[in-house]
Amino acid sequence: MAEMTDVNAREVIFRGGGFQPGTRRGVGLAVFVVLILLAEWGTRSGFISPLTLPRPSDVLLTFQELYQSGMLFKHLGPSLTRLAVGALIGASLGIGIGVLIGLFSLVRAGLVPLVAAIFPIPKIALLPLFVIWFGIDEASKYALIAFGTFTPTVVATYAAVDNVDRVLIRMGQSFGLGWWSIVSKIVVPGAMPGILSGLRISLTIAIILLVAAEMLGAEYGIGAYILQAGSLYDLERLFAGVVILSLLGVAVSAAVAFVERRVLRWRV
């Protein structure tokens, strides 16, 4: 072997960088701030006409007015109630039936094609039908939101139950645990990660349906407020309504993230 000399020595080139998602705090917020500042500057300088986009500061003023006149809560109250009741019914039915599909092949054979058939129906199209079934009042809105939350929750739940480690179920059986113990102590906790990530999607869908239902027939509610503003071409109020929806979406996602952190501490 030849003697190694310094002349031949070269640093080995590093090529292992990248492809590592990390956390960057504040960047998301910065994107929002930059976009809003850009809009503000554009509308003030006349680069963007007021017909195209309202001035962000005006939207803020409208929002303030809405808050001070008490109308904000008059609209937000019914909307939040509809969202909570509808999503609660839809998600609990979805999780319940999803677990049953996951556990029993008979239920699976019977219901999976049905779920596949109703999944792609735009639920908004069924609102007139729900109005006939449940009346023009709150019940039809609850039904629409519940139905819209139900389908994605069912699919996420039975897929999550399918993914529970079979070894753990065999373990439960081998220690003589009863059927109910295996379901409640092994299957459901094991399916929790999948169920929660399904809820993230179905709750977002619930917000979309909430607005749709309120646009088609409600006196108060964020959807009604946005529809009113739209028909008057009042862009400031329209945008104020849209901002409320975005905040609602962020709040729901934060709530799910909070629950995930509490419930899924055990995850690697």
Partner 1 sequence: MDLKLSSVSHYYGETQVLRDITLDIPSGQIVCIVGPSGCGKSTLLRMLGGLERPSEGRVLQMGDAPAGCLNPLTYIFQDFALLPWRSVRGNVALVLEGHGLGKARREAIIADVLARTKLTDFADALPKQLSGGMKQRVAIARALAVNPAVMLMDEPLSALDSQTRELLMDDLVALWTRQPFTAVYVTHNLAEAVRLGHKIVVLSRRPGELREVVELDMPLAERRHGDPVLEAQQQHLWGLMRDEAAAADAELIDG
Residues near partner 1 (CB under 8 A): 165, 167-168, 170-171, 173-178, 181, 185-186, 189-190, 192, 265-268
**Whole-angstrom Cα distance, residue 3 to residue 187?**
64
- Residue 202 Cβ, how far from partner 1 at the closest point, in Å? 23
Q: How far is the CB of 53 from partner 1 (least distance, A)?
A: 49
Nearer to partner 1, 171 or 232 (CB): 171
Give least dist CB 60 to partner 1, A: 45
Nearest CA to 73 out of 221, 232, 264 is that of 221
Sequence-separated (6 or more) residues with CB below 8 Å from residue 80: none
Rounded least distance, CB 193 to partner 1, Å: 10
- Report, in Å, the least distance between residue 170 CB and partner 1: 6
Tell how far CA 135 is from the center of its chain.
Answer: 27
CB-nearer residue toward partner 1: 37 or 171: 171
Extract long-range pairs of 11-20: CB within 8 Å, 24+ residues apart: none
Place of tokens 């709750």: 203
Least distance (Å) between residue 106 CB and partner 1:
22
Nearer to partner 1, 7 or 167 (CB): 167
CB of 180 to partner 1, least distance (A): 9
Mapping DSSP onto H, E and C, the string for 126-155 reads HHHHHHHHHCCCHHHHHHHHHHHHHHHHHH
State which residue, 121 or 171, has the beta carbon closest to partner 1: 171
Please state at what angle helix 127-134 crosses helix 188-216, rounded to 10 degrees.
90
Between residues 162 and 165, which has the closer beta carbon with respect to partner 1? 165
For the four alpha carbons of 156, 169, 108 and 111, in that order, the dihedral sign comes to: negative
Q: Whose Cβ is closer to partner 1: residue 90's or residue 194's?
A: 194
Nearest alpha carbon to residue 35 among 18, 56, 66? 56
Q: Residue 52 or residue 181: which is nearer to partner 1 going by CB?
A: 181
